[in-house]
Amino acid sequence: MRYLTDEEINLASRFLFLSMALIVIKQDMEQIKNGAFKIKEPYIKLLENMNSEALLERRRLRKEMEDKAIQVVLLNKNDSFSSYLFTCKGREEQRNYFNPAIRKKVEAIVRELMHKVSTSEPPSAVANT
């Protein structure tokens, strides 16, 4: 039985998966900084812009969640599934996610952020030599 509205679930889910995407972005930045990339700066700049964009959105989502008294709590995690408890004004709903499905949702958010920052910032001009 559903106890939270679609809007509440969507808000909490976006916050949850966006938070996971931020972790992935930060890990990727570390991999690039410490990896064998020859030219690191463009990738790091892209990831930094994605990180900034995601932080702005998550801040907005957190404010909206606080206003609506919505919380998300990790209940259980194993190799196949992760369980989260979504609460809102005394109502609770447990959601179980298949871990590969979580990965796809996080990947979609990373792609969305990449598209957003890559289309909003023009590439640096390269001097003709």
Question: Does a structural domain hold residue 127?
Answer: no
SS3 percent helix, strand, coil of the chain, rounded to 5, is 60, 20, 20
Question: Does a structural domain hold residue 125?
Answer: no
Question: Does a structural domain hold residue 32?
Answer: yes
Phi and psi at 96, nearest 5°, equal -110, 130
pLDDT tens digits, residue range 77-108? 999 999 999 999 999 999 999 999 999 999 99
Question: Does a structural domain hold residue 31?
Answer: yes
pLDDT tens digits, residue range 51-78? 999 999 999 999 999 999 999 999 999 9
Question: Does a structural domain hold residue 114?
Answer: yes
pTM of the predicted model, to two decimals?
Answer: 0.89
For the chain, how many structural domains are there in total?
1
Instruction: Tell the residue number behind the tokens 């023009």, with chain if given.
Output: 122
The boundaries of the domain holding residue 37 are 6-120
Question: Does a structural domain hold residue 126?
Answer: no
